[in-house]
Structure 1
Amino acid sequence: MPEGVDQRQVVIRRADRPGDLGWVVMAHGEIYDRQFGWNSEFEALVAAIVADYAARYSAATEGAWIAEVDGERAGCVLLVAGDSPGVAKLRVLLVTPAARGLGLGTRLVAESLAFARGAGYRTVTLWTTGNLVSARKIYEHFGFTLADEEPGRSFGHDLVSQNWTLDLEGRPA
């Protein structure tokens, strides 16, 4: 680090403080509108994901994490139970533009995958869109593979919907 530049304080913590879940929804809505011009349909999807997490949260099988930089929220991710036994879903990964490049996305995914292993999940899946290149690089780093993709229209734009899968039993921690 260059002389005279202070290192930023980065913390990954559970999303268990008042306002954390609301911040997840707000940050997604604002950032994806600014970056990609996505409409409120996307924010509504994130709100539904977060509301479902909050309503059925089980500490043994689900978790949410916030990344903070210098005491301010700067990223998030959720890990929720999937539709089948032994399957979890990675949801709503986000790092704010000001905090990108600090490795927060990688740290958030690592935290959620460690939790998934500890909770006994065998597989983790995720849904994303093809234009989210930085996120895809993180997923590939951890061994996720593209299961399928399909072009369509979402959030006011033509996008490629993608489903990714990670076999936890076939990957070392």
Structure 2
Amino acid sequence: MAEREVAIRPLGRSGDLGWVVMAHGEFYDREFGWDTGFEALVSRIVADFAEGKEPGPQAAWIAEVDGARAGCVFCVRHDERTAKLRLLLVDPNARGLGLGARLVEECLQFAGQAGYEAITLWTNDVLGSARRIYQKHGFELVAEESHHSFGQDLVGQTWQRSL
């Protein structure tokens, strides 16, 4: 099997924003049965990012495999001293290439260089692969809360780490 060409680049090409929304909607429906409420949430996060609604430094990256989009992550302002990692996704067909770890590393490096002192994220306990990446990068679970969202009963988790 030929080696695959893997690249991480800043989000910013035509179609990137729409791809992030579409990929999240399709993946979470297929993998977890989440309804379009999740896709609507992702579209609001993406629109707020694109419009620069949050003050402070922010950035996002797209992972590509053989020139095709295969993953993403966003780093936005949570508060004056804390960044927030959002929308980490790796296409199931691109798993095992280290994309999730590389995307998280981009986010951590950006947040530190931007002057943030800590970084936080919110996820759900069913996302085991992502949780393992967060743990390997020093994030610690700081809160859990049951909720009903996206047509499912879930346990939301807040993770944090210092930079």
Which band: TM-score by shorter chain?
over 0.9
Is 1:26–2:22 an aligned residue pair?
A: yes
Residue in 1 aligned with 2:32? 36
Q: Deviations over 1:73-120 (max 9, x none)?
A: 0000000011x2111100000000100111100000001110111101
State the secondary structure of the residue aligned to 1:110: helix
State the secondary structure of the residue aligned to 2:51: helix
Q: What is the alpha-carbon distance in structure 2 between the residues aligned to residue 141 and residue 110 of structure 1? A: 11
Is 1:119–2:114 an aligned residue pair?
A: yes
Q: TM-score, normalised by structure 1?
A: 0.91
Q: Deviations over 1:41-62 (max 9, x none)?
A: 000110111011111178x711
State the secondary structure of the residue aligned to 2:30: helix
Residue in 2 aligned with 1:90? 85
Is 1:50–2:46 an aligned residue pair?
A: yes
Q: Deviations over 1:112-155 (max 9, x none)?
A: 11011110110100000000000000000110000100111111
Letter in structure 1 aligned against 2:154: L
Identity rate, percent = 59
Work out which of the residue numbers 149, 152, 155 in structure 2 matches 1:154.
Answer: 149
Query: Which of 1 and 2 has greater Rg?
Result: 1
Residue in 2 aligned with 1:145? 140
Q: What is the alpha-carbon distance in structure 2 between the residues aligned to residue 109 and residue 95 of structure 1? A: 11
Query: What root-mean-square deviation, in Å, do the aligned CA atoms of Structure 1 and Structure 2 show?
Result: 1.4
State the secondary structure of the residue aligned to 2:39: helix
State the secondary structure of the residue aligned to 1:56: coil
Q: What is the alpha-carbon distance in structure 2 between the residues aligned to residue 100 and residue 140 of structure 1? A: 18
Q: What is the alpha-carbon distance in structure 1 between the residues aligned to residue 110 and residue 162 of structure 2? A: 14
State the secondary structure of the residue aligned to 2:4: coil
Q: What is the alpha-carbon distance in structure 2 between the residues aligned to residue 131 and residue 34 of structure 1? A: 14
Q: What is the alpha-carbon distance in structure 2 between the residues aligned to residue 61 and residue 54 of structure 1? A: 13
| Unaligned segments of structure 2, at least 5 residues | none
Work out which of the residue numbers 141, 166, 172 in structure 1 matches 2:161.
Answer: 166
Q: TM-score, normalised by structure 2?
A: 0.97
Count of residues in correspondence between the two structures: 163
